[in-house]
Amino acid sequence: HISDGTATIFCGILPLILPDSNPFNRNHDWKYELIVKWTQLEQNVSWGSILLLGAGLTIATAFEKSKLSDSVAQILGFASGVPRAATSIIIITVSGFFTEVASNTSTVSIFLPVLDSV
């Protein structure tokens, strides 16, 4: 089964494999050069941002699969009968505390489905 992650990894690896010019062009001497060299990626890519984003989405997936997001939705369920201004303050406060223990990416990934159900 091919997921979005599989296609993303495949597209990310292609520039490390494919040549930077057409090997079938007979107008010049062809030499195999990569589109991007690994050393260029090591130096120029913000790996911390990629790891933070990946970790946040992984935490959000774990929340969904463990049904913890359903528990959070039940806890916030009482807010459906409260005026919108009070609901906004409650949600802002809860998500503010949540960002103290989780990344912003995972907080958004967790709270958006929860807020959709509330």
Q: What is the pLDDT of residues 52-83, one digit of tens each?
A: 888 877 887 888 888 887 787 787 777 677 88
Average pLDDT score over residue span 77-104: 83
Q: Is the pLDDT of residue 26 over 80?
A: no
In this prediction, residue 118 carries a pLDDT of: 62
Q: Is the pLDDT of residue 96 over 80?
A: yes
Query: Coil, strand or helix: which one is 45?
Result: coil
Q: Is the pLDDT of residue 16 over 70?
A: yes
In this prediction, residue 18 carries a pLDDT of: 92
3-state helix, strand, coil in the chain (%, to 5): 70, 0, 30
In this prediction, residue 31 carries a pLDDT of: 84
